[in-house]
Amino acid sequence: MQSYDIIVVGAGILGLSTAYRAQKAGAKVLVLDAGATAYEASSRATGYLSLRGETPAESPLAQEAEKLWDGLDDELGYPTEWTQKGRIWAALDEHEFADLQKLYRTFQKTDVPFEFLDGATMRKMIPCLSERCLGGIWTNRSGHANPQRTSQAFGWAFTDLGGEIREYTPVLEVLVEAGKVKGVRTPQGEIHCGNVALCAAAHNPLLLKPFGIHFPLAPVRLEALVTTPMPPLFEQAFIGNGLSIRQTKRGNIHMNGGPYEWINLEIGREAAKPTTQTVRNIMRRAIETMPVLKGAQFLRCWAGIVDIAPDQMTTIHRFDSPEGLVTAACSGHGFGMSPAVGVAASELLMNGATRMPIEQLSLDRFRDTPSDWRERRRWEAGQYNT
């Protein structure tokens, strides 16, 4: 019978970061995924680190991630294309401008240096930005990286240390004996271990449900687009008009955004990922935001599944029962948070405690969240959040 110290469920960037840190600390680690490595949100994200001004309770952990990002290429031994040139939130109409003014007051509750700038100043920073830009929020902190290269870097660094990844091996059940984790069940049989990390995004609640544990996460499908390479336009991580837009090292314009497509998931079954009218919606808003994109050649589009909690914050939780079980999910911003989440989750698995600031990010904050919270918010499969 195969046996490991730790099994990580989910070969996305959170799972790979957790596995890398645990393997490096001396554990024998196996990563299992229902599909290909980093096939969902991780390799398809925009690639941002957010310092979480929106949710100040997360900001300390995001700032720890920022420190780790600065040395991540050297740490892993592979390139991530990390670029730290700041981040912009831009308003293209009065409604968005008013929302950003409110958001700025929340941002000021962190110790990150955020500024509120007028439209003219923003257009000096990003000359291709629409004349419609009224202003917005700026920080010289934060940054972005290449999602595919970063996912590869974590995966390769983990296997370089002797770790093992098994693709197309869905976990159907977490096995427990006498109140302690003893392994997982897959279609190929049982695999035993002393600890399990659930880093499977919106599949986490399905695997926790048999234990009577309520983890409120809503699966959402986000679509993304990328253009062929263009001349250098901007280096900042940009958010505006409901889109996240960045320019890659090669010059491609990479973007994604809503409207969200709320879906349902089943254990062991891949969610459908059709291209929808969302693609046209993204293209229209991108051209409104940066008119230079009207002449861009769109290279490809794709979709990935991310998980959203009711408060849209990261969750990292170590369970007393069953013992040996940790879960982690990041409400759609796991890419940027992944270096710090990997440290936190691996330390919780191996030591029972972590140096990372996660005190306000446990599942305990959802004790009073009703089981029908999705229906109450109308975050139901087949509906769009426009």
Tens-place pLDDT, residues 21-31: 999 999 999 99
In three-state form (DSSP H/G/I as H, E/B as E, the rest C), the secondary structure along the chain is CCEEEEEEECCCHHHHHHHHHHHHCCCCEEEECCCCCCCCCHHHCCCEECCCCCCCCCHHHHHHHHHHHHCHHHHHCCCCCCECCCEEEEECCHHHHHHHHHHHHHHCCCCCCEEEEEHHHHHHHCCCCCCCCCEEEEECCCEECCHHHHHHHHHHHHHHCCCEEECCCCCCEEEEECCEEEEEEECCEEEEEEEEEECCHHHHHHHHHHHCCCCCCEEEEEEEEEECCCCCCCCCEEEECCEEEEECCCCCEEEEEEEEEECCCECCECCCCCCCCHHHHHHHHHHHHCHHHHHCCEEEEEEEEEEECCCCCCEEEECCCCECEEEEECCCCHHHHHHHHHHHHHHHHHHCCCCCCCCCCCHHHHCCCCCCHHHHHCCCCCCEEC
Q: How far is residue 272's CA from residue 382's CA, in Å, rounded to a whole number?
A: 12
pLDDT tens column, 195-254: 999 999 889 999 999 999 999 999 988 888 899 999 999 999 999 999 999 999 999 999
Looking at the fold, whether 310 and 362 belong to one and the same domain comes out as: yes
As for how many domains the chain has, the answer is 2
pTM passes above 0.85: yes
Give the pLDDT band of residue 263 (cuts 50, 70, 90).
confident
Looking at the fold, whether 267 and 292 belong to one and the same domain comes out as: yes
Looking at the fold, whether 57 and 206 belong to one and the same domain comes out as: yes
Whether 276 shows a pLDDT value over 90: the answer reads no
Looking at the fold, whether 242 and 326 belong to one and the same domain comes out as: yes
Which residues, at least 6 apart from 156, have a Cβ–Cβ distance to it below 8 Å?
Answer: 76, 77, 78
- In angstroms, the Cα distances linking 269 to 15, 187, 341 are 19, 12, 26
- Predicted pLDDT at 350: 97
Whether 340 shows a pLDDT value over 80: the answer reads yes
Give the pLDDT band of residue 329 (cuts 50, 70, 90).
very high
- Predicted pLDDT at 27: 98
- Predicted pLDDT at 1: 59
Whether 289 shows a pLDDT value over 80: the answer reads yes
Looking at the fold, whether 213 and 314 belong to one and the same domain comes out as: yes
Last residue of a domain, one of 95, 112, 140: 140
Last residue of a domain, one of 140, 162, 183: 140
Give the pLDDT band of residue 129 (cuts 50, 70, 90).
very high
> What is the average pLDDT across 323-328?
98
Residue 84, φ and ψ in degrees, nearest 5 = -115, 90
Whether 381 shows a pLDDT value over 90: the answer reads no
Whether 292 shows a pLDDT value over 50: the answer reads yes
What are the tokens at 131?
Answer: 């004349």
Looking at the fold, whether 101 and 228 belong to one and the same domain comes out as: no
Looking at the fold, whether 92 and 82 belong to one and the same domain comes out as: no
- Cβ–Cβ under 8 Å, residues 10 and 169: no
Looking at the fold, whether 120 and 153 belong to one and the same domain comes out as: no
Residue 44, φ and ψ in degrees, nearest 5 = -115, 5
pLDDT tens column, 345-365: 999 999 999 999 999 999 999
CA angle 378, 383, 385 (to 5 degrees): 75
Give the domain CATH number at 277. Answer: 3.50.50.60
Residue 36 belongs to domain spanning:
3-86+141-385
Looking at the fold, whether 132 and 255 belong to one and the same domain comes out as: no
Whether 386 shows a pLDDT value over 50: the answer reads no
Last residue of a domain, one of 100, 125, 140: 140
Looking at the fold, whether 287 and 369 belong to one and the same domain comes out as: yes
Q: How far is residue 227's CA from residue 234's CA, in Å, rounded to a whole number?
A: 15
Q: How far is residue 119's CA from residue 135's CA, in Å, rounded to a whole number?
A: 4
What are the tokens at 237?
Answer: 């991580």
* pLDDT averaged over every residue in the chain: 92
- Predicted pLDDT at 272: 65
- Predicted pLDDT at 273: 63
Looking at the fold, whether 81 and 97 belong to one and the same domain comes out as: no
- Predicted pLDDT at 147: 92
pLDDT tens column, 33-76: 999 998 887 777 889 999 998 899 999 999 999 999 999 999 99
Looking at the fold, whether 123 and 237 belong to one and the same domain comes out as: no
Strands 143-144 and 164-166: unpaired
pLDDT tens column, 68-125: 999 999 999 999 999 999 999 999 999 999 999 999 999 999 989 999 999 999 999 9
Percent of the chain exceeding pLDDT 70 equals 96
